Structure 1
Amino acid sequence: MHSTTQNSKNKPGFWAHFAISLTIVGGMLAANFSSKAAESFSVEVIGTGKPVLMIPGLMSDARVWRPTAEALASDYQLHLISIAGFAGKPAIEGDLLPKVKQELLQYIAQHQLQRPAIVGHSLGAFMAFNLASSAPDSIGTIIAVDGLPYLAPVFSRSNDTTAQMMQGQAAFLRQQYQQMSTEQLTAMTAQGLFMQASSDAHQQLVLSMATASDPKATGQALYELLTTDLRAAVSAITSKVLLLGATGALSSDAERAQAQQLYQQQLAGIAHATLEFHPQARHFIMLDQPDWLTAKIATALKD
């Protein structure tokens, strides 16, 4: 798919900037839950009620979800996940996202969480789709915040892209990140900050989390995102899915239509899926439009 905007070949446009941004992309702690539940992630638990896992995106941690969780804590028990290697959390060796999935499913079983809802942002949304397609009987409502079953079409602008086609580029990116210094990772992230959030304060939060992230872990996660295509697998999901997209950084109606088509195609195989966009929000919707997002999550969790 290609934008029909005038002079599109001469300006970077939404998808180029989004590719940059993605490649750089009330209660007390519950006594019966471990604050370090697994090697690949840690957990903070607040609130009481129906369980909800909240998973952040690439180079982010639980801080992005805490205000949303606090707004929901009177009705839900929120499990705020922070993934190894991101935002100052110690990195692990080997595969990252497959281990996160395995250990999250173990965490759900160990603590006897009954069909918890999963709220995920970006990479966290991919993890939500991964969990629900791998264990459909164990996972409840999915709320994906600006994240997809397969990342690569964001680069290619076409859902015809396959994981096999992306293998070489993914391996190259992983190698680049393995050789990257913290300063280089920070500089790369800074290039795409305007796509991430509107306010300077929120942009600096995104940047500070990236600066504290491990470049090798980031590269491994990107490799796995680009070479893991869940579009066929998500047909196994039986629970309700809500995908919330952000179009606040788009410059034209054509680009907004292109984004909506790409997102909608990735939901085609899911029986009970809904797609909504916020026209002003940027990628970190929870930072840009917190009231709107909290209201959407609350409604979806009640249905």
Structure 2
Amino acid sequence: MMFSQTTLKCSSRKSALFAVLVAIMASVSSSAEAAKSFTVEVQGQGSPVIMIPGLMSDSRVWQQTATELSKTHQLHLISIAGFAGQPAIEGALLPVVKSELLAYIQTEKLQRPAIIGHSLGAFLAYDLASSAPDTIGKIIAVDGLPFLAPVFTRDSKSTVASVKAQAEGIRNFYAQMQPAQLAATMQQGMEIQAREPATRERVQQMGAQSDPKAVGQAIYELLSTDLRDKVSNINQPVLQLGAGGALPSDAMRPAVEALYKQQINNIPQATLVFNWQSRHFMMWDEPVWLLNQINQFLAEK
């Protein structure tokens, strides 16, 4: 078959344009993948369990627990964008994580997966279960609550409106922070995170790898979202675990316990259990105790 020179030039230009379009589409696709709000690592076989870490943490916090739990359950270990070296996304964070997790559950055809969340991850567990109660199974909240503000203020009467200025100030403060400043800020108050120096170092390392803007955005969202009324939608059993090992005085225990109880009062099937020796990272301070609590709760009919 014969082609004229004009036809060949036109064909060449079309081929070049096609190549450019393919490159652009590949770039857009790559950017979309990079913008996901979380990554997932799947371990084990059995009934599904989604495990969500807390602020500035990733799935490494669950490694010790997952080693045993994966013998009887299929674990979906989440790492959230912007934390512990994960690429950050722009704009809202936690609402996007919730939406994409619900889509993930549907795509993977997970049948009422249990959710185990630590700190911020516990808040997400409550948000997921109250938004889609027929989709989510049992909830285990590891030292995390439906509303963060009362933990800061030590007052259960705190509202989104009453902490609005503080929430916005925190978001703006972190947005202007450099990673080195974030690492330095984390050194303050590390004693409440975990008992052992080696464990505190793990927490510090994950925090130093986090994106300051993402951290500030997450704290803002935790302070400006109150789920205490919404959790009444939850129709599945909930185990709320509290860590009281960092309290400066045993005399504070009743007040702290009352604060936690107030947050889960609207949940029909909620149980509160405190460990008064463990600090915030219960999976490292009290690993055997935590695993026993998880196994017993998941096994209950």
TM-score range (shorter-chain normalised) is 0.7 to 0.9
The aligned counterpart of 2:47 is 50
Q: Output the CA distance in 2 between the equivalents of 1:147 and 1:109.
A: 25
Q: Flag the structure with larger Rg.
A: 2
The aligned counterpart of 1:295 is 292
Amino acid at match of 1:90: P
Q: Output the CA distance in 2 between the equivalents of 1:66 and 1:109.
A: 25
Q: How far does residue 156 in structure 1 lie from its aligned partner after superposition?
A: 1.2
Q: Output the CA distance in 1 between the equivalents of 2:223 and 2:118.
A: 17
1:149 counterpart = 2:146? yes
Amino acid at match of 1:122: S
What SS class does the counterpart of residue 77 from structure 1 fall into? strand
Q: Please give the residue correspondences for 1:110-129 in structure 2 after superposition, counting only pairs within 5 Å.
A: 110-129=107-126
| Closer/same/farther in 2, CA of residues 290 and 282 from structure 1, 3 Å limit | same
Q: How far does residue 253 in structure 1 lie from its aligned partner after superposition?
A: 2.2
Contact in 2 for aligned 1:37/1:43 (Cα 8 Å): no
Q: How far does residue 123 in structure 1 lie from its aligned partner after superposition?
A: 0.1
> Which of residues 68, 71, 77 in structure 2 aligns to 1:71?
68
The aligned counterpart of 1:91 is 88
- The C-alpha deviation readout for 1:146-201, integer Å capped at 9, x for no partner, is 00000000111111111111111101100000011112111111111110011111
Q: Output the CA distance in 2 between the equivalents of 1:150 and 1:38.
A: 27
Contact in 1 for aligned 2:34/2:87 (Cα 8 Å): no
Q: Output the CA distance in 2 between the equivalents of 1:149 and 1:37.
A: 29
- The C-alpha deviation readout for 1:105-153, integer Å capped at 9, x for no partner, is 0000000000000000000000000000000000000000000000000
| Closer/same/farther in 2, CA of residues 169 and 58 from structure 1, 3 Å limit | same
Contact in 2 for aligned 1:87/1:213 (Cα 8 Å): yes
| Closer/same/farther in 2, CA of residues 225 and 296 from structure 1, 3 Å limit | same
What SS class does the counterpart of residue 112 from structure 1 fall into? coil
1:163 counterpart = 2:163? no
Amino acid at match of 1:227: S
The aligned counterpart of 1:228 is 225
Structure 1 residue runs of 4 or more that deviate by more than 6 Å after TM superposition: none
The aligned counterpart of 2:269 is 272
Q: Output the CA distance in 2 between the equivalents of 1:220 and 1:108.
A: 25
Amino acid at match of 1:39: K
- The C-alpha deviation readout for 1:189-225, integer Å capped at 9, x for no partner, is 1111110011111000000000000000000000000
Amino acid at match of 2:222: L
The aligned counterpart of 1:209 is 206
The aligned counterpart of 1:13 is none
What SS class does the counterpart of residue 164 from structure 1 fall into? coil
Q: Output the CA distance in 2 between the equivalents of 1:207 and 1:234.
A: 32
> Which of residues 197, 202, 207 in structure 2 aligns to 1:200?
197
What SS class does the counterpart of residue 165 from structure 1 fall into? coil
What SS class does the counterpart of residue 163 from structure 1 fall into? coil
Q: Output the CA distance in 1 between the equivalents of 2:283 and 2:42.
A: 19
Q: Output the CA distance in 2 between the equivalents of 1:196 and 1:74.
A: 28
Q: Please give the residue correspondences for 1:168-187 in structure 2 after superposition, counting only pairs within 5 Å.
A: 168-187=165-184
> Which of residues 104, 107, 126 in structure 2 aligns to 1:107?
104
The aligned counterpart of 1:282 is 279
Q: Output the CA distance in 2 between the equivalents of 1:117 and 1:66.
A: 17
- The C-alpha deviation readout for 1:14-49, integer Å capped at 9, x for no partner, is xxxxxxxxxxxxxxxxxxxxxx89800000010000
Q: How far does residue 290 in structure 1 lie from its aligned partner after superposition?
A: 0.3
Percent identical among aligned pairs is 59
Amino acid at match of 2:100: E
Structure 1 spans left out of the alignment, 5+ residues:
1-35
What SS class does the counterpart of residue 238 from structure 1 fall into? coil
Tell me the TM-score normalised to structure 1 length: 0.87
What is the aligned-residue RMSD (CA, Å)?
1.1
Contact in 2 for aligned 1:88/1:212 (Cα 8 Å): yes
Q: Output the CA distance in 1 between the equivalents of 2:182 and 2:189.
A: 12
Q: How many residue pairs end up in the alignment?
A: 268
Q: How far does residue 251 in structure 1 lie from its aligned partner after superposition?
A: 2.0
Q: Output the CA distance in 1 between the equivalents of 2:75 and 2:189.
A: 30
Contact in 1 for aligned 2:35/2:88 (Cα 8 Å): no
